[in-house]
Structure 1
Amino acid sequence: MDELDTAAILPGDVFNATSTDGETNDSCVHKGEAVVPTTRSGRPPFTCCLPVSVEPVLFLSMFSLALQSPLSTQYLWDRISEDLGYNGSKSSECNNGSVPPDPLQTEVETLTAHWNLYISLGGFSVGLLVVPLLGSWSDLAGRRPVLILANLGLALQAVVYLVVMYLKLPVVYFLVGRLLSGLSGDFNAILAGCFAYVADTSDRRSRTFRVAVLEACLGLSGMLASIIGGQWRRAQGYINPFWLVLATNLASALYAYLFVRESVLPDPSAKLLTSRHYKAVWRLFATGGSNSEADRRFHRCKLCLYTLCFFLVVTVHFGSRELYVLYELSSPLCWGPALIGYGSAAQHLAYLSSLLGLKIMQRCLEDSWVALVGLASNIIGLVVFSVADTIQLMFTGYGLCFLFMAATPVLRSKLSKLVGPSDQGALFASVACVESLCFLVGSGIFNSLYPATLHFMKGFPFLFAAIILFIPAGIIGTLQCLDQRRDHRDSTAS
């Protein structure tokens, strides 16, 4: 036990749980397939009888985020419309595509997009510094503290939003809430902690599907929150749904404290504010996660290329997702809260259909080809969104995107498999950093591109997103062909 590594212990690893005097050491317990180390500080007060670990944490956190995001955009739209004296719901031109756009509506759209940009930039720029710090720190201190801290930060953001709504403060105070959430890691820290936990407790063969299950939790919670949020906002306004956002974040933090068992052996002396955590992430990409000089360049190249693919795919996901509500609120669609909720639910339903499709396709296809099918589904759906001017066409686009989330679990799994068990925390810290950068870049590009292209093609940002996705598709396909050629050459030589 003196030489016990504080990093992840995979299911296939041999672990001797006896002390020097021959008695059983209580520093590890069996949890399903995995051997999960625990200590007095890592053992939760209660044991969950269900076959789940961090899935409820991610489910509840995503529920609060999916409930909050479209409502905050609609609140910004309504507050800015009120300040400018615009009432789009009574405009007869809203459903008449032949009438030129109302200049006041264009101004409302532009200001709403810009405020979305400012709020996102503020929160994610802070998170860009904090998330890799927390992710690498969790290798030593454990996953639970990160999950609890990030959820409490999101709860504090909900409190700030409620104060703004109750007192009708200027919308600039939304930025204060986002900054406070970013300082605690934001939702990206929860993602990093949950995916690192799954890497700790799964073997290489099942990791892709386990990651996809977490992605499906994102979709299911997002779908439920979208349906509830749209109907609830129409019936009772904004304040009551945001009380549920607050309660959900607190419930997620409480579950992580009470039921989540540590997947690493916590080090009580681990320091959070140290440059060591940033250096661990740098060393991972500098060495390619390999101790062999011959394999170092190859692994480093694949790590960088798969990370680039992940960056492009997730940037498109988050950047285009922020525009759906704006696109649907304005003419010629002019959707109300209920339709916006159904549209967001249809988008999140694709998480479940992607999980089912991934499970089926894995029976006959390599993971890389599964990712390419998912990217093709996303590209086709985005092209339809770019020209959608009716309810039927918009929901057709949502339907064609039914496999759009099949690529991200494959990329996460491939990155995880490229490094050893002791590097999983540093890896997911870097992935979390990339994901924060995706939010930052996606928000900046798409919220700036949308108002800039309203005058010649309203759906151009969706078409632009579809074009970007051809880049990761080409990289993934090329790497898979090179891997197959290399495997064939090795088998022929042997």
Structure 2
Amino acid sequence: MYEPDTAAILPEDLLSTASTDDQPSNPAAHGQEEDRLPLDKVARPPVRSRLPVSVEPVLFLSTFALVLQAPLVTQYLWDRISDELGYNGSRRSECNSSEPADPLQKQVETLTAHWNLYINLGGFSVGLLVVPLLGSWSDLAGRRTVLILPNLGLALQAAVYLVVMYLKLPVAYFLVGRLLSGLSGDFNAILAGCFAYVADISDRKSRTFRVAVLEACLGLAGILASIIGGQWRRAQGYINPFWLVLATNLASALYASLVVRESVLPDPSAKLLTTRHHKAVWRLYSTGGSGIDGDRSFCRCKLWLYSLCFFVVVTVHSGSRELYVLYELSPPLCWGSALIGYGSAAQNLAYLTSLLGLRIMQLCLEDSWVALVSLASNIIGLLVFSVADSTQLMFTGYGLCFLFMAVTPVLRSKLSKLVDPSEQGSLFASVACVETLCYLVGSGIFNSLYPATLYFMRGFTFLFAAILLLIPAGIIGTLQCLDQRRELRDSPE
């Protein structure tokens, strides 16, 4: 038979392209084929992987390396700056301490925070230009390159950090490594590529859960890296953990190169260095996505509103997360390192419980209602944190937040369904940039609000975060009601 021979010769991801090139001349048969297969799918055939995983190991390994590296960089900066200034004390947060603050320690803290800010802003400013470029380019050139290149850039960054540590170079060279990583897309390009890949290979029904699995990889990698990183640094210092960071990024790039199959049909003529890619991101939000209802204006409105919801949710998540340790160190809780570690583990465990909860709720609820349940879980937990004055109440708050991460995969999935298959890379590249902006905005707002409100309510910042989450809850609920009303109006009597 001819078809089995063709299947034996052609790669599976090119089969649909081969079949469209050899269409029968019968007009009726051609019309039936057009009815059966949408045009965008003919031009961009999706890959249905036979493996239970696709890009999940790429995201897991990259996240593991990032989470392992981040606190080590901060601690290394502290130690190097302390040596340069002649400070030989230790970082302490003693409850009810009456000792005056050491001015030299304050100087070390300030310089460490400043260098952290310079390094992060350097990577963010470069990535803000590069990530949309790579994301939109991947819609034409394929996803695998966008998964490989940033991992190589992160490996190069780790190599620069190792050189700095071996040769005791000035900490300013850390910024060089961060800029090199930013030029290759940094971790945000990996996020964009992985989520776009999952959007390529999944259908509308399964997309939310596949996105949630990717988000669970973030949490699982965070738990593992947090456990390994601190213990290893205390035992062997900084250099050996950074060799693992380098090896993990190279392993992620190797997996993407050898195992991950292309999910779009690459265009060899696609150019990377062109303004067309940034214009594609702008056009995405200015003209709106495709939409299944054909109303592009309503689709564009939903695109902006769901993006606003995503911005508020991630800003609250990132901003409040930075305050948990500070809140727990202060009186009346006065937690030690052990309890802080348990609290961090409970928080990261919510990635897995949110995945399980989302899967169960999808059996009886639509995605919008799942998102509202997740927001309710987060709001209730934050309200408990705002009044927590005991260890029991703090862990009760962590327990009530067990579904708080289910809302972000729903929002990513809803955004993905609003755009064409040829725009998934542009969409998730813009979402990745928004996510980075959320971390900066959340850090600035919440770290400024917390000390300003201590004199009248220690937990006011968590109360403020809970109030902010009412905004996306109202938007998601309203849009869901409007969609249901449109479906009832358009359905045949």
State the TM-score bracket (shorter-chain normalisation). Answer: 0.7 to 0.9
Distance 1:449 1:243, change over 3 A: farther
Q: How much is the aligned-residue C-alpha RMSD, in angstroms? A: 3.5
For 2:128 and 2:159, the matched residues in 1 are separated by 23
Offset at 1:305?
A: 0.1
Which stretch shifts more, 382-391 or 398-407? 382-391
Relative to the length of structure 1, the TM-score reads 0.82
1:79-135 deviation digits (Å, cap 9, x = unpaired): 55564737346x6xx443374873656665555444433332221121111111100
Matched, 1:138 2:138: yes
| Alignment map for 1:199-210 (pairs within 5 Å) | 199-210=199-210
Contact 1:121 1:443 in 2 (8 A): no
How many Å separate the matches in 2 of 1:486 and 1:18? 38
Cα contact 2:44–2:265 (8 A) shared by 1: yes
Give the residue type in structure 1 aligned to 2:18. A
Structure 1 residue 137, shift from structure 2 partner: 0.3
SS class of match (2:18): coil
Could you tell me which runs of 5 or more consecutive residues in structure 2 were left unpaired when the two chains were aligned: 1-11, 25-40
For 1:65, give the aligned amino acid.
Answer: L
Question: Would the alpha carbon gap of residues 200 and 306 (structure 1) be closer, same or farther in structure 2, given more than 3 Å must change?
Answer: same
Task: State the distance in 1 between where 2:99 and 2:455 align.
Answer: 10
Deviation at 1:479, TM superposition (A): 1.3
Read off the aligned partner of 1:87 and give its amino acid letter: G
Partner SS, residue 404 of structure 2:
coil
Offset of 1:418 from its aligned partner? 1.4
> How far apart are the structure 2 equivalents of 1:458 and 1:74?
28
Indicate conservation of the 8 Å contact 1:385/1:459, yes or no.
yes
**Alignment correspondent of 2:225:** 225
Cα gap change, 1:291 to 1:224, in 2 (>3 Å): closer
Q: What is the deviation of 1:174?
A: 3.1
Alpha-carbon distance in structure 1 between the residues aligned to 2:222 and 2:265: 32
Corresponding position of 1:102: 101
**Preserved CA contact (<8 Å) 2:17 2:43:** no
Q: CA deviation at 1:20?
A: 5.1
SS of aligned partner of 1:17: helix
The amino acid across from 1:142 in the alignment is G
1:419-458 equivalences in 2 (<5 Å): 419-449=419-449
Q: In 1, distance between residues paired with 2:323 and 2:111?
A: 13
1:53 aligned onto 2:57:
no
Asked if 1 retains the 8 angstrom alpha-carbon contact of 2:20 and 2:42, the reply is: no
Whole-Å separation in 1 of the counterparts to 2:263 and 2:110 = 46
Task: Output one character per residue of 1:143-169: Cα deviation in whole Å (capped at 9) or x when no partner.
Answer: 111111111111122223333434444
Q: Distance in 2 between matches of 1:263 and 1:487?
A: 32
Q: Label 1:81 to 1:383 Cα distance change in 2 as closer, same or farther (>3 A).
A: farther
Which residue number corresponds to residue 276 of structure 2?
276
Residue 36 of structure 1: CA displacement?
A: 11
Q: 2:291, 2:417 within 8 Å by CA — same for their partners in 1?
A: no
Q: CA deviation at 1:56?
A: 0.6
- Is the contact between residue 136 and residue 423 of structure 2 (CA under 8 Å) also seen in structure 1? no
1:301-329 per-residue CA deviation (whole Å, 9 max, x = no partner) reads 00000011111112222333344456567
* Stretch deviating more after TM superposition (283-292 or 480-489): 283-292
The alpha-carbon distance between structure 1 residues 116 and 469, as it changes in their structure 2 partners (threshold 3 A), is: farther
Matches of 2:250 and 2:459, distance apart in 1:
38
Equivalent residue, structure 1, for 2:290: 290
Contact 2:291 2:418 in 1 (8 A): no
Q: Aligned residue for 1:407?
A: 407
The answer to whether the 8 A contact 2:288-2:299 is kept is yes
Aligned to 1:3: none
Equivalent residue, structure 1, for 2:4: none
Cα drift, residue 252 of structure 1: 0.3
Structure 1 or 2, whichever has the larger Rg, is: 2
- Structure-1 residue corresponding to 2:129: 129
Distance across 2 between alignment mates of 1:100 and 1:471: 43
One-letter amino acid of the structure 1 residue matched with residue 421 of structure 2? P
Using a 3 Å threshold, how does the CA distance of structure 1 residues 176 and 203 change in structure 2: closer, same or farther? same
Partner of 1:87: 89
| Identical-residue share of aligned pairs (%) | 79
Alignment match, 2:483: 483
The question of whether the paired residues in 2 share the 8 Å contact of 1:120 and 1:440 is answered with no
The aligned residue for residue 377 of structure 1 is: 377
Q: Which has the higher helix share?
A: 2
Query: 1:407-444 deviations in whole A, cap 9, x for unaligned?
Result: 00000111111123233222223222322322333344
Alignment gaps of 5+ in structure 1 = 1-10, 24-34
CA 1:395–1:244 in 2, change beyond 3 Å: closer, same or farther?
Answer: farther
Contact 1:117 1:447 in 2 (8 A): no
User: Is the counterpart of residue 162 in structure 1 residue 158 in structure 2?
Assistant: no
Mapped to 2, the partners of 1:453 and 1:80 lie a distance apart of 31
Measured after TM superposition, the shift of residue 76 of structure 1 is: 3.9
Q: 2:34 aligns to what?
A: none
Deviates more, 1:56-65 or 1:115-124: 115-124
Are residues 119 and 391 of structure 1, via their aligned partners in 2, closer, same or farther at CA, if it must alter by over 3 Å? farther
1:331-410 alignment to 2 at 5 Å? 333=334, 335-336=336-337, 341-386=341-386, 392-410=392-410
